[in-house]
Structure 1
Amino acid sequence: MAAPGTKTPEHLDKQIDSEHFSPYRQDGKLYGFVCVVTGATQPVGRAIVAELAAHGAACIYACSSNPEDPYAELTESINAQWPNTKVIGYPYKIASEEDTLALIDDVLNSWGRLDVWTSSTGLLGPPSITNTSPHDLISAFTTNSMPAFFALKYAPAAMQKTTPKGSYPNAAPKDVPYGSIVVVSSVAGTYGGCWGPAFTMSSHAALGVVRSGVAVLKGTGVRINAVMAGQIDVGVDLGAAGKEMEQGQFPPSTLQSKEVQQKVIGLERAGRPQEVARVAGFLASGFSSYITGAELRVDGGASVMNPLTVPV
């Protein structure tokens, strides 16, 4: 604990007072921000890209591991509504240290700043321990926690760089260090029983990145928080064939019938991707300036009413 009379570091005071990071500015709470969204072609990632654009982001790197994902379609849909936000489809190996550093270099060389990093990658893996191999477990950890680890390790140095106003749409100066790392995971990271062991263990690891990150980021002006999603309807149903369903980001909401959802979820329904994205947008902005190391549950109250939101 700081001794009485100890002053807040000057750059943190300036961050709170900076007009360029005020969430109340009329042109958007994220106006001028340069952002990275991993998992951007999955339903939750797409919703996050749209949310950041809606609040004035200048540039969003929409990232995924698959070069064949529909980046052009994503860009067109976003620019149809928010033409001043530049969306850059950026395929790279999300669990590669080298590729992560190359992405950060590209961001800084092109824009001179980095403000938000949202890690929304996800891999379910097999639903039972019987079918879970060591390879499955490693794949789950690699997909669900490694991108967040690389964000914590490498993004803060870039986020501390300041820059004058650029000459591109939605440009704004960055006069103080600022950064927000948002890790989108599952309530499986706070208790077991949501799906299979690999998903549960790797979701715990993603939350561990957030919790360890508070001390790592001390004094940098960069925050890190987790969004722990519950039953989210991402368009996957039980009709999907084994391995295809295991590639999903969250357990299919159809694991629970409408009747069961009404019984065990406080809001009596599954959530929507945009409802996760809104929380990510809040954590990205100055509205959450005194929040770090937090885990915000976006589960409609299910974990309060009933710890086992999905029958296994």
Structure 2
Amino acid sequence: MTAANGHANTVNSEHFSPYRADGKLYGFVCVVTGATQPVGRAIVAELAAHGAACIYACSSNPNDPYAELAETINAQYPNTKVIGYPYKINSEEDTLGLIDDVLNSWGRLDVWTSSTGLLGPPSITTTGTKDLYAAFETNAMPAFFALKYAPAAMQKTAPKGSYPNAAPKDAPYGSIIVITSVAGTYGGCWAPAFTMASHAALGVVRSGVLVLKGTGVRINAITAGQIDVGVDLRDSGVKEMAQGQFPPASLQGGETQKRTIGLERAGRPEEVGRVAGFLASGFSSYITGAELRVDGGAGVMNPLTVPV
């Protein structure tokens, strides 16, 4: 069989999920890091809505509400198995352990969404070297490990399993999705450490296209603008805000949002999740190395500056 014929057969395979006309993810086994945060939860729900067979809901905190997340998703999508999986997202050893667990349990890996973030201190004067290292470790390192280790697992084929929403995997493919911030495309969003680390996360995606050449695995970024993740500023100070994934939308008043955002409002976590679902599915089969900006048009109109 020639390479050309092999490619044609792959594209025409009824089980080759990325080319399903309905964009469904039947049989897919997915990993979502930061899954207990608002954006991560929305991504888990979206992948389940697409028919994924299994989603590993990952976070670094073992005390996060994994069971609650699984119950919520299973109530809506009973054929998708959600597995709460706490591990150190910036640990190379733990990442390899997770991949081994996935392959031993399911025999395949199809989607890896890196949805982690740490704002860090709001000014350069309050930023120390430890803060900078922490920002890079949280915002960029998980994406780097995904690029380094997930593709080999994604290239493994597998027969149809006996679990709900099962489908065989008869060709190597996969999708790595990196959730980062518009701070990765320009400055002025929160503070230097967050901006630097967001640029690094986007660098993983851009360098990943050549790394993944010939593997059948795609890598793309979602750069989010003002996303309302439900942070209540009345009960938190700068220190608490610095632990967040995105700058709280309530840092900008309604009038400011109307003036600086094309859609005149902050985004919602599910609006990021829907784009992740698109990048996981066959609807984006010819997209790799892209940056899909989910910011309501703010970056086009006027680069987003968050006052502190």
State the TM-score, normalized to the length of structure 2. Answer: 0.96
* TM-fit CA distance, 1:255: 1.3
Within the candidate set 167, 189, 193, 2:188 is matched to: 193
Match of 2:172 in 1: 177
The counterpart of 2:307, out of the listed 300, 306, 311, is: 311
Tell me what 1:250 maps to: 246
2:21 maps to 24
Q: Which residue of 1 aligns with 2:72?
A: 77
Which of 34, 45, 50 is the matching residue for 1:50?
45
Q: Which amino acid letter does the alignment assign opposite residue 72 of structure 2? A: S
State the shift of 1:294 in Å. Answer: 0.2
Q: Does structure 2 conserve the Cα–Cα contact (< 8 Å) formed by 1:231 and 1:309?
A: no
Cα offset for 1:237? 3.5
Deviations 1:127-147 (A, max 9, x none): 100111100000000000000
- How far did residue 24 of structure 1 move? 2.3
What is the CA–CA distance in structure 1 between the aligned matches of 2:168 and 2:142, rounded to whole Å?
A: 28
Shift of 1:71: 0.2
Instruction: Measure, in 1, the Cα distance between the counterparts of 2:116 and 2:10.
Output: 29
| DSSP-derived class of the 2:220 partner | strand
Match of 2:198 among 191, 203, 207: 203
- Amino acid in the other structure paired with 2:221: A
Identity of aligned residues (%): 82
Q: Offset of 1:14 from its aligned partner?
A: 4.2
1:109/1:274 Cα in 2 relative to 1: closer, same or farther (>3 Å)?
Answer: same
Amino acid at match of 1:24: A
Alignment-derived partner of residue 285 in structure 2: 289
Q: Which amino acid aligns with 1:292?
A: T
Equivalent in the alignment of 1:3:
none
CA contact (8 A) 1:159 1:179 kept: yes
Q: Does 1:230 align with 2:221?
A: no
AA of the residue aligned to 1:42: Q
State the distance in 1 between where 2:13 and 2:152 align. Answer: 20
With over 3 angstroms needed to count, the CA separation of the structure-2 counterparts of 1:102 and 1:264, relative to structure 1, is same
Indicate the residue corresponding to 2:272 in structure 1: 276
Paired position in structure 1 for 2:60: 65
- How many residues were matched structurally? 304
- 1:94 — aligned with what? 89
Find the counterpart in structure 2 of residue 261 from structure 1.
257
Return the match for 1:114 from 109, 114, 139: 109
**For 2:28, which of 30, 33, 56 is the aligned residue?**
33
Question: Cα distance, 1:31 vs. partner?
Answer: 1.4
Which residue in the other structure is 2:124 paired with? 129
- Does the CA contact (< 8 Å) of 1:265 and 1:305 recur in 2? yes
On the 8 A contact 2:143/2:178 being kept in 1, the answer is yes
| Alpha-carbon separation, structure 1, partners of 2:7 and 2:154 | 13
Distance 1:14 1:228 in 2: 35
Say which SS state the counterpart of residue 271 (structure 1) adopts: coil
Return closer, same or farther for 1:110/1:252 CA change in 2, 3 Å cut-off: same
Cα gap change, 1:235/1:62 in structure 2, threshold over 3 Å: closer, same or farther?
same
Give me the whole-angstrom Cα distance separating, in 2, the residues matched to 1:86 and 1:311.
Answer: 41
Deviation at 1:186, TM superposition (A): 0.3
Asked if 2 retains the 8 angstrom alpha-carbon contact of 1:232 and 1:250, the reply is: yes
Q: CA deviation at 1:241?
A: 2.1
**What's 1:4 paired with?**
none
Give 1:111 deviation, angstroms.
Answer: 0.3
Q: CA RMSD in A?
A: 1.4
Counterpart amino acid of residue 285 in structure 1: S
Cα pair distance change 1:15/1:267, threshold 3 Å: farther
Q: Residues 41 and 62 of structure 1 are in contact (CA less than 8 Å); yes or no, is this contact kept in structure 2?
A: yes
User: CA separation of 1:39/1:255 partners in 2, compared to 1, >3 Å: closer, same or farther?
Assistant: same
Who is 1:104 aligned against? 99
In the TM superposition, residue 13 of structure 1 has moved relative to its aligned partner by 4.1
2:7 and 2:306 map into 1 onto residues whose CA distance is 42
Q: In the aligned structure 2, how far is the partner of 1:149 from the partner of 1:10?
A: 34
Instruction: Quickly say closer, same or farther: Cα 1:13–1:120, change in 2 above 3 A.
Output: farther
* Structure 1 residue 177 displacement after superposition: 0.4
Provide structure 2 residue ranges, at least 5 long, that are not aligned to the other structure.
none
Letter in structure 2 aligned against 1:107: V
Name the TM-score, length of structure 1 as normaliser: 0.95
Helix, strand or coil for the counterpart of 1:88?
A: strand
Q: Where in structure 1 are there 5+ consecutive unaligned residues?
A: 1-6
